[in-house]
Structure 1
Amino acid sequence: MIRTGLLLLLSMMSACAQKPWYGDFNYLGKLPAKLNEVSGIATNNGKIIWAIEDNGNKDHIYGLNLQGTLVKEFEIENGKNHDWEDLANDNSGNLYIGDFGNNANDRKNLSILKIPNPDKAKGKKIKAEKISFHYPEQTKFPPKKSKLHFDCEAFFHHEDHLFLITKDRSRPYQGKAFIYKIPAKEGNYEAELIGTFKSCEDTQFCSITGAAISPDGKKVVLLGSGFIWLFSDFGSENFTKGNLRTIDVLHRTQQESICFKDNKTILIADEQSKTKGRNLYSYTLD
């Protein structure tokens, strides 16, 4: 009886000692405890990863190293965090903060904040320019449940424009994303609809929570909670017309942030959810 109990105890200890399972991700590090709702990441040099949090958190941008350790922090002036949902960067190192989270589809103050390269910033604050926009297809705030298509958690910068990919909240769920573009400069714009994309119909995994474009502009990735949609060989601004590869990363957490470290390597961060998440990962594209 004692021997049986000892064997059971040793078995339990062995199971607890096993490494956590991250699917096909390469685990890089744990994010700081105060960053448990990271909603967007971007990097200019592959060394400092800039991160933001979403609604209810500070108007701050955080610089992390590749192990997830906090190394810099700035307050964003004149840029309140109504619901920051993604980060993007351009070839000059400017960052764009997507203040376009719109869960209830009732916001009329959607905007993107443009800040100069934070890698070179000094002090504790960075001033932002505001790019305001609206969706011309939305006429009611909120629309009826079958037309809740105007939330957004994903975008990227390409050729002087910002490309927004909406998050479907319609009921019944359709798994449909709308792709819009607006100029990447201060002003107030009507977003231009350039395409649509249907990921899948599982509400848990199919909604688009992040997006990024490779430094060479040849690949676009969209993120879901456990899936990556990779587009390549697109000949127009509507990247969904290119070749599509759907990647199951075999790891199910609340993944909301993605960026390219280089043309073949992407970085992903997930939010804290109970005992899972708040990690930084990498994934290598074949």
Structure 2
Amino acid sequence: MRTILVLTALVGVLSGSSCSQAQNEDSTVKTHKDSKKGGKKDGKKGKKNQEDTLENRFIDVAIPGLSKLATFSNVPESSSLALADQPGTFYTNADAGNSPTLYKVNAEGKLLQEISLPVANHDWESLAKDDKGTLYVVDAGNNNNSRKNLVVYRVNPAAPQQVSQIPFAYADQTEFPPKKDDRNFDCEASIWHAGKLYLFTKDRAQQTTSKVYALNDQPGQQTAKLIAKLAIPGEVTDASLSPDGRRLVLLAREELFVLEGSDFNAILKAKPRHVDLTGAGQTEGITFTDNQTVVISTEEGSLYQYKL
């Protein structure tokens, strides 16, 4: 039924728009502006602008509040997303099987910088950032729940050769791997908040619970303390906390879970609100840009903006 409604709405959009009207309407995509110049080249650009505008209309009909910003160029895949040092720029990375590289990109999908780190990439799945600009590269992808070399790398992007480490183990894991019904030790999501790193697991057993673990943000061997269990009916792929600390988003594949509260402790007790992102792709990275807006990346290289 939803597909029929979306297609019906799209037909209405197409039938009610002429080429000239589509080219003159404002677009929410920052990477494309209507061209008023003549010539063959500008004509092609105008056609592309029209198509992108119609694409965003279709996306907004299917998922209100979602608009496509860009497609990454020269980035192998995106498994995480964090704000970079300049407005409208982000850090991302690829996961297992790829180089230990951070990619700095902008909202137009352009690759601005490659930052190589002198450490291994066993399975980088998440990035967190503190209030001083330090990045925490969470190498804790653990599909089989059998890894014993879990680690978080602390790095200042301006001095990438100086990397400190937080090796850790989960307080409640005693088997490597545990029985299939207990395999909930894969971490693809993290945030930094008030001097601590919070890790959110991807439930590969029941797909009902994301466990929340806490680490101190300082280097050295640590035990990740289990502090909460969230009722998340999906496999969490990334997380982000709003700047005011009142809203936590947990990303899963083509879906989003929103938890709200007066502080972080209240958030962890809140009932998640579900947002359907069907059709967006393999959603892997998310970060807040303001208290009401998140940017989402997919493994395939799409970059979206979503208004909560």
Given candidates 207, 210, 220, the residue that maps to 1:177 is: 210
**Identical-residue share of aligned pairs (%):** 35
- Alpha-carbon distance between aligned partners in 2 of 1:257 and 1:238, rounded to the nearest angstrom: 24
Given candidates 218, 237, 261, the residue that maps to 1:233 is: 261
Q: Which residue does the alignment assign to 2:227?
A: 194
Given candidates 81, 84, 109, the residue that maps to 1:41 is: 81
Q: Is 1:89 the counterpart of 2:129 in the alignment? A: yes
1:219-230 aligned at under 5 Å gives the runs 219-230=247-258
Residue 210 of structure 1 aligns to which amino acid in structure 2? D
SS in 2 for 1:101: coil
- Alpha-carbon distance between aligned partners in 2 of 1:182 and 1:97, rounded to the nearest angstrom: 13
Residue 102 of structure 2 aligns to which amino acid in structure 1? I
- Relative to structure 1, is the Cα distance of residues 236 and 26 closer, same or farther in structure 2, using a 3 angstrom cutoff? closer
1:18-57, Cα deviation, whole Å (9 max, x unpaired): 637544321111112x424211110044322111110001
Q: Is 1:266 the counterpart of 2:306 in the alignment? A: no
Q: Which residue does the alignment assign to 1:154?
A: 189
TM-score for the superposition, normalised by structure 1: 0.83
Q: Is 1:62 the counterpart of 2:103 in the alignment? A: yes
Contact 1:46 1:262 in 2 (8 A): no
- Alpha-carbon distance between aligned partners in 2 of 1:264 and 1:92, rounded to the nearest angstrom: 22
SS in 2 for 1:19: helix
- Relative to structure 1, is the Cα distance of residues 132 and 238 closer, same or farther in structure 2, using a 3 angstrom cutoff? farther
- Alpha-carbon distance between aligned partners in 1 of 2:215 and 2:153, rounded to the nearest angstrom: 13
- How far apart are residue 226 of structure 1 and its match? 1.7
SS in 1 for 2:268: helix
Q: Which residue does the alignment assign to 2:28?
A: none
- Relative to structure 1, is the Cα distance of residues 183 and 108 closer, same or farther in structure 2, using a 3 angstrom cutoff? same
Q: Which residue does the alignment assign to 1:130?
A: 165
- Alpha-carbon distance between aligned partners in 2 of 1:209 and 1:146, rounded to the nearest angstrom: 20
Which structure's residues are more often helix, by fraction? 2
Q: Gapped runs of 5+ residues in structure 2?
A: 1-13, 15-50
TM-score for the superposition, normalised by structure 2: 0.77
- How far apart are residue 237 of structure 1 and its match? 3.3
When the two structures are aligned, how many residues end up with a matched partner? 253
Q: Is 1:73 the counterpart of 2:114 in the alignment? A: yes
- How far apart are residue 238 of structure 1 and its match? 6.3
Which structure carries more relative contact order (alpha carbon 8 Å, separation 6+)? 1
1:213-250, Cα deviation, whole Å (9 max, x unpaired): 11221211000112111111154536321353222234
- Alpha-carbon distance between aligned partners in 2 of 1:86 and 1:68, rounded to the nearest angstrom: 19
- Alpha-carbon distance between aligned partners in 1 of 2:178 and 2:266, rounded to the nearest angstrom: 26
Contact 2:128 2:190 in 1 (8 A): yes
- Alpha-carbon distance between aligned partners in 2 of 1:132 and 1:239, rounded to the nearest angstrom: 27
- Alpha-carbon distance between aligned partners in 2 of 1:150 and 1:238, rounded to the nearest angstrom: 24
Q: Which residue does the alignment assign to 2:200?
A: 165
Q: Gapped runs of 5+ residues in structure 1?
A: 1-13, 201-205, 273-277
Residue 260 of structure 1 aligns to which amino acid in structure 2? F
- Alpha-carbon distance between aligned partners in 1 of 2:133 and 2:271, rounded to the nearest angstrom: 28
Q: Which residue does the alignment assign to 2:149?
A: 109
